[in-house]
Structure 1
Amino acid sequence: MKEKKTFAINGYIGIIILILMALSGLGLVILGIGMITTAVNFTFIIVGVLLLLISAIFASTVTIVAPNQAKLIVLFGRYLGTIRENGMFITVPFTNKLHISLRVRNFNSAKLKVNDVDGNPIEIAAVVVFKVIDTAKAAFDVDYYEQFIEIQSETAIRHVATKYPYDSFEDTDITLRGNSSEVSQELSEELQRRLEVAGVEIIEARLTHLAYSTEIASAMLQRQQAKAILSARKIIVEGAVGMTQLAIAQLEEEGILKLNDERRLQLVNNLLVSIITDKGTQPVINTGDVS
């Protein structure tokens, strides 16, 4: 199905025309009754009755379309078209008029429990902002398009959540917690592909809730803390090695110290311990040999 325009005329102009038709029909009926003795009176009566019937039938098709609303016109099971303009219209008689909202709406998903790419159970939820852009697809290609949007949205959220870890300490990894913009963009694209059949445009999709499941929240917090400590230690060690190399090189270049391998090893050990330790170091002052 594809949306198309249908026959419709301005309601105010149409009502004026229908009133004139009804008055003309009434006048012809009265004229025909007054000429009951002549042969032409039945023609006046028949034409007048037809005009009255036509005006009554078309008067029953008056349709009011509110802003950002649409009316689908269906004649005996056949889709004729859609009226998108707001106002009052007169359209094809004997038709059903289906109402579709064109307003921007949002859907808040429930908190879903899924496993991330590492197999950790997490809770995730999102808000989806959408609007209908093809009324024919929304009405006829899917059953209850709003329910269809809800189910497909939850399916897409589950699918995207299983592709990434909840968190990682590697800068190159995309995570649900650390890359919310990228994840939201992928979720929007996934939803657009799934909901195109329903004539829906996804305006935005954003994560609104993200957390570890309650049964593993405490254990995962300890794991996060351990990973954070290891990551921090790695940075500290790399920095300490660089600082030690720089200090020894500068001392030797300026001629302050002339170190053999044993003394250099001892100095490196002392510097690394001083820099890396998380507690205050106690300096030892060498006063020389005591005889």
Structure 2
Amino acid sequence: MKQEKNIIPTNGYIMLLVLLGLFILAIVLVVGGVPLALPIFFICIISLRGFVLVNPNGSRVLLLFGKYMGTIKKNGLYWVNPFYSKNKISLRASNFDSERLKVNDKLGNPIMISTILVWRVTDTYKAAFDVDDYKNFVRVQTDAAVRKLASMYPYDNFADEGHTEDITLRSSVNEVSEALEKEVQERLAMAGIEVLEARIGYLAYAQEIANAMLKRQQATAIVAARHKIVEGAVSMVEMALDQLGKKGIIDLDEERKAAMVSNLMVVLCSDKDASPIVNAGTLNH
């Protein structure tokens, strides 16, 4: 397989002066009636096609009747063989925001996902000749990499079903971005393209399950909050009984302790303010 070959052709400004001198010479010969003026004019006109301008972070791939001759990467004005074909390939960093794709995550849930890719060409030979259209190649391979990545990780963890993955698409941003960048780089290496950054630009459940998954997330959050509330309430009741017993404020039998625990748990775990009832009689009433 051929590799990229960097060349620095003839300085364009020097050739511009040479052609200008030939053109003046041809004019002088025409005035003098010398037949040699016509071939000189023809050479000057043909030579004008040899000038090539390379902008910063740009390149020109040179071909001579289908044969690769080299790549000009250094910016400036140059002169090359007038019969060279000069294909322009940008070396600047480019952004690519993929379309939102509907794919299934690791658990089979349909999700919508897109990626933002920053890339640039590093090998002009591979970009020009190893793939048909390197820009379209970037788009297609990026979509394929995103589909593969989405199938490797779940959208989120659901402890109630026993799914406790360490890496998820929603929460593990850095890990998922690294995996996506590596996957895309492997696919685009054959086109001489370097991936500068790859990250998820959009992530959400598909419309048909979005409402159900939202309710599920809300229910999971409520259960987790209730668990914390009950855990705190039990600690507070335990502390209250322990302090009452140590200070001898009141002597409670098991039945009264059970009633007190029940009342305190209701007050502490309720999501509404308690409405106290004042007992004007004895503890037994």
Normalised-by-shorter TM-score class:
0.7 to 0.9
Question: Structure 1 residues 116 and 133 mapped into 2: Cα distance closer, same or farther (>3 Å)?
Answer: same
Partner of 1:275: 268
Match of 1:68 among 40, 57, 72: 57
Question: Structure 1 residues 80 and 251 mapped into 2: Cα distance closer, same or farther (>3 Å)?
Answer: farther
Residue 175 of structure 2 aligns to which amino acid in structure 1? E
Number of residue-to-residue matches in the alignment: 279
Alpha-carbon distance in 1 for matches of 2:246, 2:64: 95
- Alignment of 1:144 with 2:133, yes or no, is yes
Q: Deviations over 1:52-88 (max 9, x none)?
A: 8776654431111223221011223322221112221
- Alignment of 1:191 with 2:180, yes or no, is no
- Alignment of 1:208 with 2:190, yes or no, is no
8 Å Cα contact 2:154-2:165 kept in structure 1: no
Q: Deviations over 1:16-50 (max 9, x none)?
A: 2344466679989999x79xxxxxxxxxx7xx999
Partner SS state of residue 220, structure 1: helix
8 Å Cα contact 2:237-2:264 kept in structure 1: yes
- State the 1:4 CA deviation: 2.3
Partner of 2:258: 265
8 Å Cα contact 2:8-2:74 kept in structure 1: no
- Alignment of 1:111 with 2:100, yes or no, is yes
Partner of 1:4: 5
What TM-score does the superposition give when structure 1 sets the normalisation length? 0.80
Alpha-carbon distance in 1 for matches of 2:12, 2:250: 100
Bigger mean CA deviation after superposition, 56-65 or 152-161 = 56-65
Residue 230 of structure 1 aligns to which amino acid in structure 2? V
Partner SS state of residue 205, structure 1: strand
Partner of 1:38: none
Match of 2:282 among 266, 284, 288: 288
Alpha-carbon distance in 1 for matches of 2:77, 2:182: 38
- Alignment of 1:176 with 2:177, yes or no, is no
Partner of 1:42: none
Structure 2 unaligned segments of length 5 or more: list them.
none
Identity of aligned residues (%): 45
What TM-score does the superposition give when structure 2 sets the normalisation length? 0.82
8 Å Cα contact 1:240-1:276 kept in structure 2: yes
8 Å Cα contact 2:7-2:70 kept in structure 1: yes
Question: Structure 1 residues 141 and 269 mapped into 2: Cα distance closer, same or farther (>3 Å)?
Answer: same
8 Å Cα contact 1:145-1:198 kept in structure 2: yes
Partner of 1:256: 249
Residue 246 of structure 2 aligns to which amino acid in structure 1? E
Alpha-carbon distance in 2 for matches of 1:8, 1:280: 85
- State the 1:241 CA deviation: 2.2
Question: Structure 1 residues 91 and 255 mapped into 2: Cα distance closer, same or farther (>3 Å)?
Answer: farther
CA RMSD of aligned residues (A): 3.3
Alpha-carbon distance in 2 for matches of 1:244, 1:223: 31
8 Å Cα contact 1:123-1:209 kept in structure 2: yes
Alpha-carbon distance in 2 for matches of 1:59, 1:241: 91
Question: Structure 1 residues 193 and 105 mapped into 2: Cα distance closer, same or farther (>3 Å)?
Answer: same
Question: Structure 1 residues 217 and 20 mapped into 2: Cα distance closer, same or farther (>3 Å)?
Answer: same
- State the 1:144 CA deviation: 0.4
- State the 1:10 CA deviation: 1.7
Alpha-carbon distance in 2 for matches of 1:225, 1:89: 66
8 Å Cα contact 1:106-1:130 kept in structure 2: yes
Alpha-carbon distance in 2 for matches of 1:111, 1:15: 51
Partner SS state of residue 274, structure 1: helix
Partner of 2:16: 15
Alpha-carbon distance in 2 for matches of 1:239, 1:210: 36
Alpha-carbon distance in 2 for matches of 1:250, 1:143: 81
Question: Structure 1 residues 218 and 289 mapped into 2: Cα distance closer, same or farther (>3 Å)?
Answer: closer
- State the 1:138 CA deviation: 1.0
Residue 223 of structure 1 aligns to which amino acid in structure 2? R
